């Protein structure tokens, strides 16, 4: 337990010192390959994702070590692995393109937090590679009606991200989103849906 505390402190120190991230990638990645606690693994996954956003090519060799955590029993580890793939994919979608099928499976995870992380990860990737999701938008539309509140709140944001960059992909959903923006029981879902509509229509006018 004391070892865990020391390692978590080490990871927190690395997190704070962003200027040294590049030289610490190997040390952080090594925490995934040993029998450390869930807390250590989760922190390492999160940090590798943030490092991957800044130094994607240096992270590339470790993506294969992150991917198995998408199938771990612990939902926090699945959540953090999903987040990490999103951050790395935001920096360079080509690094995670071969794992998209694995990522897309997270939409059906039993954990609300993991499903929320799935949408958030897809939003990250879609910032620079919206074309990967144009034919998948029905997934995010259905997730507006998810059982998890935070999932419902996040789902319309995917339409905002895609609508800004590929508005014609979102155009077929505008009428449905307008209904949600006016009628959904959750105020934030209504606000986020209205935001997605506004951004999409603005992009369509350009």
- pLDDT tens sequence across 23-70: 999 999 999 977 889 999 999 999 999 999 999 999 999 999 999 999
pLDDT in the model for residue 33: 75
Residues 1 and 99 in one domain: yes
Domain-ending residue, one of 132, 150, 171: 132
Dihedral pair phi/psi, residue 144, rounded to 5° = -65, -20
pLDDT score, position 4: 84
Question: Residues 23, 96: one domain?
Answer: yes
64 and 90 both lie in a single domain: yes
Q: How many CB atoms lie within 10 A of CB 26?
A: 11
Same domain for 21 and 123: yes
> Domain end: 87, 113, 132, which one?
132
What is the domain range of residue 45? 1-132
Q: Are 56 and 92 in contact (CB under 8 A)?
A: yes
Q: Distance (Å, rounded) from C-alpha 100 to C-alpha 144? A: 21
Q: Which H helix or E strand runs over 11?
A: helix 2-16
């Amino acid at each position: 337990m004391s070892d865990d505390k020391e390692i978590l402190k080490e990871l927190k120190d690395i997190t704070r010192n962003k200027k040294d991230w590049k030289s610490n990638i190997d040390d952080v990645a090594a925490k995934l390959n040993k029998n450390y606690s869930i807390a250590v693994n989760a922190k390492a996954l999160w940090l590798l994702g943030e490092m991957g956003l800044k130094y994607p090519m240096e992270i590339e060799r470790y993506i294969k070590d992150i991917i198995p955590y998408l199938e771990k029993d612990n939902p926090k580890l699945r959540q953090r692995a999903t987040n990490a793939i999103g951050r790395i994919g935001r920096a360079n979608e080509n690094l995670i393109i071969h794992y998209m099928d694995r990522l897309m499976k997270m939409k059906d995870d039993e954990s609300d937090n993991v499903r929320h992380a799935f949408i958030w990860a897809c939003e990250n990737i879609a910032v620079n590679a919206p074309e990967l999701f144009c034919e998948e938008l029905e997934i995010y539309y259905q997730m507006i009606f998810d059982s998890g509140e935070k999932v419902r709140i996040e789902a319309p944001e995917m339409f905002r991200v895609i609508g800004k960059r590929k508005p014609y992909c979102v155009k077929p959903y505008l009428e449905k989103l307008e209904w949600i923006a006016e009628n959904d029981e959750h105020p934030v879902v209504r606000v986020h849906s209205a935001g997605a509509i506004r951004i999409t229509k603005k992009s369509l006018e350009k």
